[in-house]
């Protein structure tokens, strides 16, 4: 009973904060409406698939049927090679790993999945289908379904959070863990609860607890927020890295299912109580690569993860944003390769 009451109190506080940020966003949308009129509601019809998504150098498009869901993925490299499995974050899809797919297919069977609710993977309705446990279950199924009992597991942002959770529950499936600008879950929760800087940066998580408004905010003016996330000086990748075709690929991907399912990851993490997590030490060698210009997450959390991982390597990448694997791919790839060679 006490646990239920505590969850209810946290839920009321979360929604109250969400309503505050919702009012701020609504004010911004009203200003945009005054400036652009009906253009605020414009979204381009995208019937043609961007050619960059079918670049044969990135691999072949495939689907895999798991117990309750079908996932789309892109793979390259010889089947007999060790498996390197890539898990994307928000708001992304498999294409975020394009530089790594090219780099590591010589030595690995590289597989970049679309997580549930993204791009060409199934998108079941309902917040309950987007809990961390659901995505951890997807990884637990996909590794043996691809014919492996272990993999090098690589995750960014939300994908990295899921990879951390997977490593805590099923370390036997992981040869090496690599996270990119994705904090250890315990570290992040503690840091957000004790540091005003992180609380302010996490404002969108509270906004995403509201119905309808976050989806409209993400899709208005032809998904203007994707331009903000990837191209702006505050959040975006370095100038010249993201091409117009790359950005169009992201908008095409989100035109398939919209934003409700990806936003449901955030809603589920706040709204659905989980069993008390067992934050025992992560018992696999772990590399964290961190872009030091991340506007969404404080860099301090990357250092703090060492308390929970006995075999921990941290590489800070200067002049790199949250999208570190796209922002500085050569440096990121070199850190990954050096880490993997050092653990042979």
Residues labelled as active-site residues: 157, 266, 322
Name the residue among 324, 297, 331 with its Cα closest to residue 180: 324
Residue 277 DSSP label: P
Residue 17: phi and psi, rounded to 5, are -65, -40
CA-to-CA distance for 184 and 312, rounded, in angstroms?
12
- 292 C-beta neighbours (distance < 10 Å), count: 14
Residue 127 DSSP label: G
CA-to-CA distance for 335 and 291, rounded, in angstroms?
12
Q: 61-65 — which CB contacts under 8 Å span 24+ positions?
A: 61/120, 63/120, 64/142, 64/145, 64/146
Residue 160 CA: distances (Å) to CA of 37, 50, 116, 272: 39, 27, 15, 20
The residues, any chain, with a CB within 8 Å of residue 343's CB and separated by 6 or more, are: 176, 285
CA-to-CA distance for 329 and 344, rounded, in angstroms?
23
CA-to-CA distance for 301 and 309, rounded, in angstroms?
13
The answer to whether 287 and 178 are in contact (CB under 8 A) is yes
| Tokens 């503690």 found at | 190
The answer to whether 81 and 74 are in contact (CB under 8 A) is no
Dihedral sign of CA atoms 54, 58, 60, 65 in order: negative
Q: Which two tokens mark 245?
A: 């075709």
């Amino acid at each position: 009973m006490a646990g239920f009451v505590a969850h209810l109190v946290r839920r009321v506080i979360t929604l109250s904060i969400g309503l505050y940020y919702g009012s701020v966003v609504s004010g911004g949308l009203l200003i945009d409406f005054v400036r652009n009129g009906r253009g605020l509601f414009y979204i381009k019809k995208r019937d043609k698939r961007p050619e960059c998504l079918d670049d044969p150098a990135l691999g072949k498009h495939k689907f895999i049927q798991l117990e309750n869901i079908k996932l789309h993925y892109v793979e390259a490299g010889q089947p007999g090679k060790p498996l390197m499995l890539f898990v994307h974050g928000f708001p992304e899809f498999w294409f975020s790993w394009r530089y790594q797919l090219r780099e590591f297919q010589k030595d690995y069977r590289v597989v970049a999945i679309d997580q549930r609710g993204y791009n060409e993977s199934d998108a079941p309705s309902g917040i309950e289908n987007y809990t961390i446990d659901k995505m951890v279950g997807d990884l637990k199924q996909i590794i043996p379904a691809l014919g492996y009992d272990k993999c090098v597991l690589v995750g960014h942002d939300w994908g990295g959070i899921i990879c951390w959770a997977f490593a805590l529950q099923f370390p036997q499936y992981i040869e090496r863990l690599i996270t990119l600008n994705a904090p250890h879950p315990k570290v992040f929760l503690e840091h957000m609860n004790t540091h005003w800087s992180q609380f302010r940066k996490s404002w969108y998580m509270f906004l995403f607890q509201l119905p309808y408004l976050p989806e409209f905010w993400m899709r208005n003016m032809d998904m203007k927020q994707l331009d903000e996330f990837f191209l702006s000086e505050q959040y975006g990748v370095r100038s010249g890295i993201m091409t117009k075709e790359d950005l169009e690929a992201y908008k095409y991907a989100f035109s398939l299912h919209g934003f409700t399912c990806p936003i449901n990851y955030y809603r589920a993490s706040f709204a659905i109580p989980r069993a008390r997590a067992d934050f025992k030490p992560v018992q696999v060698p772990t590399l964290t690569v961190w872009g030091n210009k991340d506007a969404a997450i404080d860099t301090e959390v990357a250092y703090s993860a060492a308390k929970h991982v006995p075999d921990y390597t941290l590489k800070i990448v200067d002049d790199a944003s949250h999208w570190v694997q796209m922002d500085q791919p050569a440096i990121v790839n070199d850190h990954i390769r050096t880490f993997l060679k050092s653990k042979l």
